Amino acid sequence: MAGYFVKVAWGWTFCLLLPFIALTNYHLTGKAGLVLRRLSTLLVGTAIWYVCTVIFSSVEHYTGSCYQSPALEGLRKEHQNKQQCHQEGGFWHGFDISGHSFLLTFCALMIVEEMAVLHEVKTDRSHSLHTAITGLVVALGFLTLIWVWMFLCTAVYFHNLSQKVFGTLFGLLGWYGTYGFWYLKSFSPGLPPQTSRLNLKQDSYKK
pLDDT, one tens digit per residue, over 94-117 is 899 999 999 999 999 999 999 988
Active site residue 159: yes
In this prediction, residue 5 carries a pLDDT of 61
CB atoms within 10 A of CB 36: 13
Look up the pTM and report it: 0.85
Q: What is the DSSP secondary structure assignment for residue 77, as one 8-state letter?
A: T
CA distance 192 to 117: 6
Report DSSP letters for 66-124, one per residue.
EESSTT--SB-TT--SHHHHHHTT-EEES----HHHHHHHHHHHHHHHHHGGGGG----
Tell me the C-alpha distance between 90 and 65, whole Å: 10
Among the listed residues 61, 86, 119, 159, the single catalytic one is 159
Amino acid letter, residue 169: L
Element at 65 (helix H, strand E)? strand 65-67
- From 27, 61, 86, 100, the catalytic residue: 100
Instruction: Kindly tell me if the per-residue pLDDT of 196 is higher than 70.
Output: no
Query: DSSP state, 119?
Result: G
Strand ranges (DSSP E) for the chain?
65-67, 91-93
Cα–Cα distance measured from residue 19 to residue 38, given in angstroms and rounded to the nearest whole number: 12
**pLDDT class of 91 with cuts at 50, 70, 90:** confident
Give the dihedral of Cα atoms 101, 103, 106, 110; nearest 10 deg.
-140
Give the pLDDT band (50/70/90) at residue 36.
Answer: very high
Given a cut of 80, is residue 204 above it in pLDDT? no
- pLDDT digit string, tens, across residues 134-174: 999 999 999 999 999 999 988 888 878 899 999 999 999 99
